[in-house]
Each structure stands twice: as structure tokens, then as C-alpha cells.
């Protein structure tokens, strides 16, 4: 699987939202956070049995995705996933994308 850059993901998923916008129990492809955009762009549904969570993954799940996408990354997948999630949930989407760039370019 080719790992997409942050720029490529943003073209496909330009409008992230806060996790509070998630519709419990349902997957809506128009609603996703920055971490969800990473997962959706890389078709990470196989990593989660609850499809609706793909749009709004937990930091732990996002960390698993990042480790699968960039196994040679020398930083902490969990810390980076936590930072992406935190900035996204604050509505600081550009800061979340900046954190994603640290691993995805």
C-alpha cells in the first residue's frame, strides 16, 4: 500500500470536523476528523470492526494506523496520534494536519 502524504489526503478530505459531530452507530463519509481522513484515505476499515468509528478513530486506533503506515518512524505513534486527536477536537484542524505532516510528510 502506498502511503499518501498529508497534502494528498487533504485534497481527498478537505473538511474535517470535531469528533463531537460523529453520528453514533453510523458511518457518514461526509463526517470525519483529521485522523479519520488518514484512515479513510488508506482504507483502514479492516483495522476496526465498528465502521462508523473509522471517521473518528480513537487516539489508540489512529496510533495503530500510523504504525502500519510508517513502521520505521522513530517517534512515538501514540503521542503523535494523541496530538492529532487533541488539536482536531479543539477545532484546530491546521495544527492537527501539521502534526500529521510529521509522520506522513
Domain that includes residue 15, residue range:
6-104
Number of domains in the chain: 1
- Tell me: pLDDT of 33 over 70: yes
pLDDT in tens, 86-98: 999 999 999 999 9
Q: At what angle do helices 77-89 and 34-41 cross, to 10 degrees?
A: 120
Alpha carbon of residue 21 to chain centroid: 15
- Residue 27 in any domain: the answer is yes
pTM, entire model: 0.85
Q: At what angle do helices 59-69 and 34-41 cross, to 10 degrees?
A: 40
- Residue 24 in any domain: the answer is yes
Mean pLDDT over the full length of the chain: 85
H-type alpha helices, the chain: 6-12, 34-41, 59-69, 77-89, 93-104
- Tell me: pLDDT of 9 over 80: yes
- Residue 53 in any domain: the answer is yes
- Tell me: pLDDT of 80 over 90: yes
- Residue 26 in any domain: the answer is yes
- Residue 1 in any domain: the answer is no
Amino acid at each position: 500500500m502506498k502511503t499518501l502524504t498529508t497534502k494528498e489526503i487533504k485534497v481527498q478530505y478537505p473538511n474535517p470536523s470535531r469528533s463531537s459531530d460523529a453520528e453514533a452507530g453510523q458511518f457518514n463519509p461526509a463526517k470525519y476528523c483529521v485522523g479519520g481522513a488518514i484512515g479513510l484515505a488508506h482504507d483502514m476499515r479492516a483495522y476496526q470492526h465498528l465502521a462508523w468509528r473509522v471517521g473518528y478513530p480513537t487516539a489508540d486506533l489512529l496510533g495503530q494506523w500510523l504504525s502500519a503506515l510508517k513502521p520505521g518512524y522513530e517517534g512515538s505513534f501514540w503521542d503523535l496520534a494523541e496530538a492529532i486527536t487533541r488539536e482536531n477536537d479543539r477545532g484546530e484542524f491546521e495544527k492537527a494536519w501539521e502534526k500529521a505532516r510529521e509522520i506522513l510528510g
